[in-house]
Amino acid sequence: MSRARRLPEFEHAPTDRPRERLDHVEAGPPTPLKETLERLVDLPDETVLVQFNDRAPQHLYPKLDDRGYRFETVTADDVAVTAIWK
């Protein structure tokens, strides 16, 4: 997990909640999808998970919808950053 990556401005993601970062920029599929879903299981509902990836996690979106999560992806510095929250 990289703390050096810049957190972009999100339009819809909550800004008044704790955030946890998950850096998957260097991980190939299916690691980002698998580890993100596993992390969400134990994450408190008030925490926003911020996932850094080398591309928009298109296969993750329907799984988040099915589990009742909201999400927003922004590209910054050639990295797709997705905020995921309840």
Q: What is the mean pLDDT of each run of 10 residues along the chain (86 residues)?
A: 71 96 92 96 96 95 98 93 97
Q: Phi-psi bin for 11: left (phi > 0), alpha (psi -120 to 50), beta?
A: alpha
| Residue 2 pLDDT | 45
74 close to 10: Cβ distance less than 8 angstroms: yes
29 close to 1: Cβ distance less than 8 angstroms: no
Single pTM value for the model: 0.91
Report the number of distinct structural domains present in the chain.
1
Alpha-carbon distance of 85 to 78, in angstroms, equals: 23
| Residue 5 pLDDT | 78
Question: Residue 80 falls within a domain, yes or no?
Answer: yes
| Residue 1 pLDDT | 43
Question: Residue 13 falls within a domain, yes or no?
Answer: no
| Residue 3 pLDDT | 45
Question: Residue 5 falls within a domain, yes or no?
Answer: no
Q: What domain range is 35 assigned to?
A: 19-85
The alpha helices in the chain, defined as continuous H runs, are 31-42, 60-66
Q: Tell me, what CATH number does 61's domain have?
A: 3.30.110.40
Question: Residue 4 falls within a domain, yes or no?
Answer: no
